[in-house]
Amino acid sequence: MDSVWTEEEIRDLSERFHIAPECKLHEDAEDYHFPRKRFLDCGYAPPGGYVKDFGVVVREGRLHLFHIDGRPGEVCWITGNEISFGHASTSDFCRWIRHPMPLAVGTRSWESEHVWAPFVYKRDGLYCMFYMGSGCGETFISYATSSDLETWERWESGPIQCAVGRDPFVWSHDGRNMLLYTGHGGARVAACVSDDMVEWEPIPDLISIPGGAAAESSSLHPLDDGFVLWFNDYGPDLSRFRAAYAISENPLQFSADAIRAFRFETDTPGATPSPEVRVSAPVPLSIELIARGERTWFVCYFRWHIDRGRLFFGELDWSCEPATIREINTQAHLNSILAKTDWDRT
């Protein structure tokens, strides 16, 4: 597929999303809203920024990405860094358009310095973007709502007082809204539930990992006759950083003894280690499910690649032991995965 946008595509997408082409910082810069390149093999990232913890949602044939946007080479807690989210979308997983910024730091003290880890959850026809806010020594999780993924309104009664942590993931369980997040004080996936998205109550941790520092970017999904919980965890010195998963018949309880590390395969390893994650080999971070097939799932994640964190797509193969994520770097591989899953671009 041609990586250059046609004039008709630019016109249609400009009208649909109210974005203008030829938006550049200088004559030699890439078009901000319509970058004229394919990102499949090199990973997607905004110009001058990076992709970190993120959420994706499909709407009207497009995959929408909401992500932490920050400056390469600076850690997340530096003042002025990671203060807003990026928004981009694609219909072919190769070419991306960039949308206006959806959310940034706010005036409330607990979200006045940083906003992290957006996750989009659709409920009763409304999109809810859960995120972590940080400021004045506090960290809480709250959410904003939108009907079109473009204009967002913060929940005025936020934050969720019992959700002290980061990296939210939300799903519906037994008719209730369940929020999973990285709990403070060890490597644990904490959780709380709500019937109305207003009143929230904590429930016991889903998993606790002895000797770990954190269990980040958790995600929970049905698998065969049970459930799979995946996350990134690491030891106190970051030397044990990995993408891992556990399987259980009970979605509310997972054993640390059941944890397995994903096998990860990529042809584009990246030559420079991340300033925040000291690893000797590429690691997929913040894995999110896009579509599922019988034993093959279509996923995305970010990882450090050459100069910054970039978003990549992968094939998650459950027929292997351990389960294997193979990075998708070619159109042929992408086409084969789309044919095996329930992705629908119509």
8 by DSSP, 3-state: which?
helix
Span 314-332, pLDDT tens digits:
999 999 999 999 999 999 9
The number of angstroms, rounded, from the C-alpha of 115 to the middle of its chain's C-alpha atoms is 14
Q: Examine the pLDDT at 1 and tell me if it is beyond 50.
A: no
The mean of the pLDDT values for the chain is: 91
**pLDDT over 90 for what percent of the chain?**
74
Span 34-51, pLDDT tens digits:
999 999 999 999 988 999
Q: Examine the pLDDT at 62 and tell me if it is beyond 70.
A: yes
Joined together, the tokens standing for residue 311 give: 């978003």
pLDDT on residue 72 = 82
Q: Examine the pLDDT at 271 and tell me if it is beyond 70.
A: no
pLDDT on residue 189 = 96
Average pLDDT over residues 340-345: 76
Q: Which residues contact 222 (CB under 8 A, 6 or more apart)?
A: 228
Q: Examine the pLDDT at 338 and tell me if it is beyond 90.
A: yes
Instruction: Report which of residues 227 and 233 the model is more confident about.
Output: 227
Q: Examine the pLDDT at 220 and tell me if it is beyond 70.
A: yes
Instruction: Report which of residues 269 and 12 the model is more confident about.
Output: 12
Lowest mean pLDDT across 54-68, 96-110, 229-243: 229-243
Span 64-98, pLDDT tens digits:
999 999 888 788 888 888 889 999 999 999 999 99
Q: Examine the pLDDT at 346 and tell me if it is beyond 60.
A: no
pLDDT on residue 2 = 54
| Residue 79, CA distances (Å) to 52, 72, 114, 328 in order | 17, 14, 8, 35
Q: Which residue segments constitute the domains of the chain, with CATH numbers given? A: 38-340 (2.115.10.20)
Q: Examine the pLDDT at 260 and tell me if it is beyond 70.
A: yes
Joined together, the tokens standing for residue 342 give: 């329930």
Alpha helices per DSSP H over the chain: 7-17, 331-340
DSSP string spanning 57-77?
EEETTEEEEEEEEE-TTS-TT
Q: What share of the chain is helix, strand, coil (3-state, %, to 5)?
A: 10, 45, 45
Average pLDDT over residues 114-131: 95
Q: Examine the pLDDT at 111 and tell me if it is beyond 50.
A: yes
